[in-house]
Structure 1
Amino acid sequence: MKKNITVALMTIAFILIFKTNGWAQAKKATVIYKDSKAPIENRIKDLLSRMTVEEKVGQISMPLGWPMYTKTANVVEVSEVFKKSLKEEYTGMLWATLRADPWTKKTLSNGLNPELAAKAANSIQKYAIENSRLGIPVLLSEECPHGHMAIGTTVFPTSIGQGSTFNPELIRKMAAVIAEETRLQGGHVGYGPVLDLAREPRWSRVEETYGEDQVLNSKMGEAMVRGFQGESIKSGSNVVATLKHFVAYGAPEGGHNGSSISVGTRSLNQFYLPPFKAAVKAGALSVMTAYNSIDGVPCSSNEELLNNILRKEWGFKGFVVSDLNSISGLMANHHVADNAAEAAAISINAGLDADLSGIGYGKALRDAVKAGKVSIKTLDSAVSRVLRIKFNMGLFENPYVNPETAKLRIRDTEKIQLAKQVALESIILLKNQNKLLPLSKSLKSIAVIGPNADNIYNQLGDYTAPQTEENVVTVLEGIASKLPDAKINYVKGCAIRDTLSSNIDEAVIAAKKSDAVVLVLGGSSARDFKTEYIETGAAKISTSSDKLSDMESGEGFDRATLDLLGDQMKLLKAVVKTGKPVVLVLIKGRPLNLNWAAENVPAIIDAWYPGQQGGTAIADVLFGDYNPAGRLTISVPKSVGQLPVYYNARVPEKHDYLEIDAKPLYTFGYGLSYSEFKYSELQIKKSNNNTIEISFNLKNTSNVDGEEVVQLYSKSKTSTVVMPAKQLKQFRRVALKAGEEQRLVFELKRSDLEIYNNKMKWAVEAGIYSIMVSASADDIRLQGKFELGKEDYLVKEN
């Protein structure tokens, strides 16, 4: 009997345990957002239902990331700042956690190498997941315009050089490397590409753009997005691309960074919006608003841009983020909001999802919700767009990265070689009188002179982390490697801006005792620890002698002139006066005044900011180991009095001034080669698939292998609205062996010929169209025409 009772009790206990476990499992199963097999939209809905207003606001507030860790020797931990931020603000996003530069005060000694960066990211994730009520991972956004802005990563040429390659596929490969290096260290969002049209060379951020043309910028933007995001952002080696700066940021009045923009609706649609549209269609998942206003409406509170155009017209599925402090700027700079809560309300109601600063939303947004200025539905929409990224990246399941992998795969040999290739393809040969270049490797002596000849930071551009010297090859080092037996006479000569330490006489002596001279001048975006910065990270200009740096370009350094600064012109003229063969190499971030150089210097090379392998690439071009084919993506004016001077200005074409003509010194698309190319046998026809087919022969008529950047321009004879005298439609970088000839075929589709017409609609208009096959915007090699009737239909791409 006792045995039966015991068995019965055990059975009952088993049933109770089974049911209890079942109930527990059932209860656990109701936590849908933690179920990796549940549809993502269901997970988002479930998580939102569990969140407080404070937790939701925390998910879309993004404070500065670099104070969120502490480093002692090789131990990295979360800081008290992060613990406080998570506890009080429910922080769900961070910006520039791994960034290092003078503004962040992170150096080679107190900053993070790739291995420690990965450990820092892991520590932040672990603490956030284990010490928050809902265990939501943190989304880390990083600066990635020409490399991840962190110590130890690969540094590529800045975007103006990337554009000069006219090679989107190469830029896609570069972007994939930047994405991999960022993701391996724990980053999830890469800031880039910058799609602003650079139509104002006085503006300080020209180097961050691809240039003045919307077609080229569109192709480069598409390439960057595909490289960043790959096939899936869940891959573990890809990041979300953030398009900057939405919109029309690159043509501020007077060149003042962040100033208002004078642009009409039609110009906005025809020129400034297309690069963003192309990148969105390529799958971009994040967009950053610009600081400027358009027709009196700040971009960070512009519902027409953010909701109507971006989301409704283009079908954008990602999230919109402010630029740093731009929400607060609605009150402090634009004066369209009376207080912080109102600034937060008009931003989020206009479609701006996330706040880069941590103070634009935060308490201000909570107050706005409490006051009824922002609905829970609007808040949930913004939060869901950020959560969707986290779920799609698989961060709830795999929030951590492998520090050992980061250590091994970042800045490896293959990535360094790619940095060299991008630098090679970006270099532009502006002048080569009497074929001075390439230089002979049998030179017995050579003078290498100038402030940018042996300065690693002046070579790298803005948004670059501190570097160890062995990571960067300067021009001096590159030349020395080509001429191991020659006498190298190096003299700095002068600084970029400072005139107190010039030694021009010594430079002249070096030139006179050398067989040839390479003079390396230009500009600098190199931040230093003497420079002061405003809240947004832009440099604060100082002219006092004790704080004078080389920096004359980069965010915040707008110019009134485009002249070479300091004693550079004195140095240039003195060296040329020696009568020695002089090659001028320009390292810089914006077009500069080259009038005297173009007239008096036999050979000129423009390298922009060529990155860590710039010295090697420049030396390869100087000595003929690489045949240059880079092309200008922004016109070089003769005077600031000509501005604006971009090639695709609307008709009528500009007439000459009293003092000078109206043409730029060098126009868009210009660049020379050591090879010569012949264009012939143009044919234009309507193809069977309702496109316009343009074909022609291209032949390398020289005895040197080379590349030509073929550019296809078009212009309609008449149109319902005023259009440019010519507009780039397509381009292709073509490699031809000496004597080789190829038949090239281009197809013009509907999108190539659409204009924003007098009805404010996109349309292909009937009429006669001119076709110009060119080597630059003003070097037309072949011309032809075709006609479209009202009944003609061109294929509309998906």
Structure 2
Amino acid sequence: MKKNIKTIFCLVLAVSVFSAKSFAQSKTNLPLYKNSKASVESRIKDLLSRMTVEEKVGQISMPLGWPMYTKTETGVEVSETFKKLLKEEYTGMLWATLRADPWTKKTLANGLNPELAAKATNAIQKYAIENTHLGIPILLSEECPHGHMAIGTTVFPTSIGQGSTFNPELIKKMAAAIAEETRLQGGHVGYGPVLDLAREPRWSRVEETYGEDHVLNSRMGEAMVQGFQGNNLKSGLNVVATLKHFAAYGAPEGGHNGGSINVGLRSLNQFYLPPFKAAVKSGALSVMTAYNSIDGIPCSSNEFLLNELLRKEWGFKGFVVSDLNSISGLKANHHVADNAAEAAALSINAGLDADLSGVGYGKALRDAIKRGKVSIKTLDTAVSRALRIKFNIGLFENPYVNPENAKLKIRDTQKIALARQVARESIILLKNQNKVLPLSKTLKSIAVIGPNANNIYNQLGDYTAPQTEENIVTVLEGIKNKLPGETKINYVKGCAIRDTTQSNIDEAVRASKKSDAVIIVLGGSSARDFETEYIETGAAKINTGDNELSDMESGEGFDRATLDLLGDQIKLLKAVVETGKPVILVLIMGRPLNLNWADEYVPAILDAWYPGQEGGNAIADVIFGDYNPAGRLPISVPKSVGQLPVYYNSRFPEKHGYIEVDAKPLYSFGYGLSYSSFEYHDLKITANPSKQTVLVTFDLKNSSQIDGEEVVQLYLKNNTSSVVLPSKQLKQFSRVHLKAGEHRNIQFILNKADLEIYDKNMKWSVESGIYSIMIASSSDYVRLEGQFNMSKK
């Protein structure tokens, strides 16, 4: 009887528990995928089981985002375009919703400030959650290469300037600031870093890269990923990093953007892929495919790249997204697909998860599935990768942001100060004959000349939103901020970047003659304008007609046949130098330009690339000695396009000269001067062949009376190897600050990854033999040299 009572009691208890659980579930009506305490994988599985094929396809389709909101007199709301898209295409992602530039036609007037941007993304999320039966929030991807490309955000130097800092920790801080500004406005994925090797300076997108060296690119890529993603994607301050462009995009034939790439498998592994591998190992959760093909296979349908290498070999756990319209480009550009459905099938079967365009998958992918060209399993795999990001970032639990935080924390004083610091550290002193720099602040008059001296957009680079003038400090304004009120500043533009109808060289000469010194600011521009036409990918369409030319000679789509200063710039420079006044040339540009004449005749040259919103203050800091420059070239500057390619780490045999000119660049990778001088002493090398490590130490001394920074660089050479290698390869570097007279022992440790090569068997290995270590202040200025033996005894 007692046993029966006990059994009855257990049954009643079980029924009670079940009833309570059922009541709770019915009360909340909470499906498993909405249960934050459930595992991510179980939530994905549950959600997939509830979705139709059409809904799944919609989740991996990413249309252009800026038409999805409407600005009203009282605020912002979702547009009819978004409502229609969500109803008909079940859209799960949007790209560049907050992007503003001439291509999107979003201006300071009709675009969104940070507070309104946050309200817009909230409206998009609210509508998607409340008007779809599954209530899946939208994943929002934004352009973030040197700041979030939205109105009111902080504008940092472009990537080529970031690379010039040789300071990954600083770039990590910058990336964290960009991520915060993006996330506060409702973005979840940040496009960047760009890890393409810039081995072709005629290519229009050099400014978006960290330069020509894969080790420097790797360290910068790691820093960007760590800064973007942080340690907790649910922090509300971090975004998913998207690595661009996979792979080998930066060395197209003839410099043609998106053109085919001819590299062997060994070169691909030894040079072009390591930055991506390093960033993946740092935890990057998104990768974007490149427009180009490699050995005849488009990157957007390259199963070896996306599945075998990226996922199986490197262990990538995120999702792969196409570049804009690159899936459609399999038919339209590469001609490897007969129709849109076939292009979609080629891409998704190769491991490309998400379509940036909204037309590459969508109907085309649905057609491919109906025709049996794509399996439901393949579709589910792609969709699960996108959903995994949404769950891991906490989007189902926290789809909204606080507009007040966006209003208060974006472009605050700390981020502005950080923009100035990145700009200062990026500036490269190329020449300082007779110590013309730093200039004295007691000069009675200074001429400020040139098309880039007082143009806010020319200073900012491509992928920049419209700016209010008070947010940008030009070189002219930076100089005014630096000098006392009684100093006479004589400003004349002199000429445009390209258009010769705007030149006023005589006036510039008169201003120079009546001044004690001349600061002339030349170079290039990536500033888009509303007269420029754009192709469907957003790249600018080149205007070679006789109409008035914009300044734009760099930035996506603006490939060059020469690297000369365009328009009347060299004519202006020569006229100013002929006045006999001390001349400081400041270069604001997106790619290396021909500086042969300037190197011979101009006393002082500063390369500032595109220094961002605080560029004017940073340049003035350097010119007047409030900051001691230590930037280094991340890309070699050629003497002629006829030398190209001219990157420092080309393979043996060493290049011989031409009839007209030698084979050496004008300025080599890693080069940069300082107001200080440094001495290198006492190199010691201790190799441990069994552990495949090498300890390298040396003493560095600031032998000047000025505090400064030195970028010490360690290069390695395999004296003999099974495959042909470069004569030297950067392996490690460090930006070291030393007070006047201070000395410090510097230590580098080379590990297996530093010593490995992609050998004759297409395997990574550390080969036995003699190696040379070169401690240098640039790739062509070795200060200390020694050897070690990696042979096992």
Q: Do the structures match in fold with TM over 0.5?
A: yes
Does the CA-based 8 Å contact 1:531-1:547 persist in structure 2?
no
1:221 to 2:221 alignment: yes
How many Å apart are 1:689 and its aligned residue? 6.2
What residue ranges of structure 1 are gaps of 5+ in the alignment? Answer: 1-15, 792-798
Partner deviation per Cα, 1:392-429 (whole Å, 9 max, x = no partner): 01111110000000000000000000000000000000
2 CA distance for matches of 1:212 and 1:32? 49
1 CA distance for matches of 2:262 and 2:122? 46
Match of 2:141 in 1: 141
2 CA distance for matches of 1:104 and 1:118? 19
Equivalence map 1:730-741=2 (5 Å)? 730-741=732-743
Match of 1:10 in 2: none
2 CA distance for matches of 1:713 and 1:776? 9
What amino acid sits opposite 1:25 in the alignment? A
Partner deviation per Cα, 1:577-629 (whole Å, 9 max, x = no partner): 00000000000000000000000000000000000000000000000000000
How many Å apart are 1:691 and its aligned residue? 1.8
2:559 is paired with a residue whose SS is: coil
2 CA distance for matches of 1:741 and 1:18? 73
Does the CA-based 8 Å contact 2:419-2:612 persist in structure 1?
yes
Equivalence map 1:668-679=2 (5 Å)? 668-679=669-680
1:748 to 2:750 alignment: yes
1:615 to 2:613 alignment: no
How many Å apart are 1:523 and its aligned residue? 0.1
Match of 1:203 in 2: 203
1 CA distance for matches of 2:601 and 2:311? 53
Match of 1:355 in 2: 355
Partner deviation per Cα, 1:85-108 (whole Å, 9 max, x = no partner): 000000000000000000000000
Match of 1:170 in 2: 170
1 CA distance for matches of 2:537 and 2:412? 33
CA gap of 1:434–1:249, structure 2 versus 1, over 3 A, is same
How many Å apart are 1:686 and its aligned residue? 2.5
Q: Which deviates more, 353-362 or 21-30?
A: 21-30
1:540 is paired with a residue whose SS is: coil
Equivalence map 1:567-646=2 (5 Å)? 567-646=568-647
1:461 to 2:445 alignment: no
How many Å apart are 1:787 and its aligned residue? 0.3
Equivalence map 1:439-518=2 (5 Å)? 439-484=439-484, 485-518=486-519
2:312 is paired with a residue whose SS is: helix
Equivalence map 1:52-67=2 (5 Å)? 52-67=52-67
What amino acid sits opposite 1:511 in the alignment? S
Does the CA-based 8 Å contact 1:765-1:790 persist in structure 2?
no
Match of 2:248 in 1: 248
Q: Which runs of 4+ in 1 moved over 6 A?
A: 16-21
2:761 is paired with a residue whose SS is: coil
Match of 1:36 in 2: 36
Equivalence map 1:399-438=2 (5 Å)? 399-438=399-438
Match of 1:48 in 2: 48
Taking only aligned residues, the RMSD between alpha carbons, in angstroms, comes to 1.4
What amino acid sits opposite 2:150 in the alignment? A
CA gap of 1:214–1:38, structure 2 versus 1, over 3 A, is same
2 CA distance for matches of 1:73 and 1:287? 39
Match of 2:764 in 1: 762
Match of 1:11 in 2: none
1 CA distance for matches of 2:127 and 2:733? 50
1:732 is paired with a residue whose SS is: strand
Does the CA-based 8 Å contact 2:687-2:790 persist in structure 1?
no
2 CA distance for matches of 1:547 and 1:234? 50
Partner deviation per Cα, 1:236-276 (whole Å, 9 max, x = no partner): 00000000000000000000000000100000000000000
2 CA distance for matches of 1:668 and 1:351? 36
Match of 1:332 in 2: 332
Does the CA-based 8 Å contact 1:492-1:507 persist in structure 2?
yes
What amino acid sits opposite 2:186 in the alignment? G
1:580 is paired with a residue whose SS is: coil
Partner deviation per Cα, 1:196-216 (whole Å, 9 max, x = no partner): 000000000000000000000
Match of 1:681 in 2: 682
Does the CA-based 8 Å contact 1:447-1:510 persist in structure 2?
yes
1 CA distance for matches of 2:22 and 2:383? 31
Match of 1:565 in 2: 566
What amino acid sits opposite 1:761 in the alignment? K
1:88 to 2:88 alignment: yes
Match of 1:5 in 2: none
CA gap of 1:558–1:29, structure 2 versus 1, over 3 A, is same
Does the CA-based 8 Å contact 2:637-2:667 persist in structure 1?
yes
Does the CA-based 8 Å contact 1:61-1:361 persist in structure 2?
yes
Match of 1:152 in 2: 152
1:288 to 2:288 alignment: yes
Match of 2:11 in 1: none
Q: Which deviates more, 280-289 or 688-697?
A: 688-697
How many Å apart are 1:482 and its aligned residue? 1.6
2:422 is paired with a residue whose SS is: helix
Does the CA-based 8 Å contact 1:228-1:238 persist in structure 2?
yes
1:344 to 2:348 alignment: no
Match of 1:396 in 2: 396
Q: Percent identity?
A: 80
TM-score, with normalisation over the residues of structure 1? 0.96
Does the CA-based 8 Å contact 2:692-2:752 persist in structure 1?
no
TM-score, with normalisation over the residues of structure 2? 0.97
1 CA distance for matches of 2:576 and 2:75? 52
How many Å apart are 1:499 and its aligned residue? 0.4
Match of 1:710 in 2: 712
Does the CA-based 8 Å contact 2:204-2:554 persist in structure 1?
yes
1:546 is paired with a residue whose SS is: coil
Does the CA-based 8 Å contact 1:651-1:723 persist in structure 2?
yes
Match of 2:722 in 1: 720
1 CA distance for matches of 2:21 and 2:442? 84
Match of 2:24 in 1: 25
2 CA distance for matches of 1:397 and 1:713? 49
How many Å apart are 1:180 and its aligned residue? 0.2
1:211 is paired with a residue whose SS is: coil
Partner deviation per Cα, 1:28-85 (whole Å, 9 max, x = no partner): 6772101110000000000000000000000000000000000013410000000000
Match of 2:385 in 1: 385
Match of 2:7 in 1: none
How many Å apart are 1:133 and its aligned residue? 1.2
1 CA distance for matches of 2:22 and 2:676? 78
Partner deviation per Cα, 1:120-169 (whole Å, 9 max, x = no partner): 00000000000011000000000000000000000000000000000000
1 CA distance for matches of 2:25 and 2:518? 79
How many Å apart are 1:18 and its aligned residue? 11
1 CA distance for matches of 2:557 and 2:20? 62
Match of 1:3 in 2: none
Equivalence map 1:102-141=2 (5 Å)? 102-141=102-141
1 CA distance for matches of 2:17 and 2:770? 81
Equivalence map 1:238-277=2 (5 Å)? 238-277=238-277
2 CA distance for matches of 1:610 and 1:642? 28
Does the CA-based 8 Å contact 2:107-2:466 persist in structure 1?
yes
Match of 1:795 in 2: none
Does the CA-based 8 Å contact 1:253-1:259 persist in structure 2?
yes
How many Å apart are 1:232 and its aligned residue? 1.2
What amino acid sits opposite 1:619 in the alignment? A
CA gap of 1:52–1:603, structure 2 versus 1, over 3 A, is same
Does the CA-based 8 Å contact 1:530-1:547 persist in structure 2?
no
How many Å apart are 1:501 and its aligned residue? 1.3
Match of 2:537 in 1: 536
2 CA distance for matches of 1:409 and 1:29? 37
1 CA distance for matches of 2:293 and 2:369? 26
How many Å apart are 1:22 and its aligned residue? 5.5
CA gap of 1:30–1:481, structure 2 versus 1, over 3 A, is closer
Q: Which deviates more, 662-671 or 686-695?
A: 686-695
Match of 2:790 in 1: 788
Does the CA-based 8 Å contact 2:479-2:620 persist in structure 1?
yes
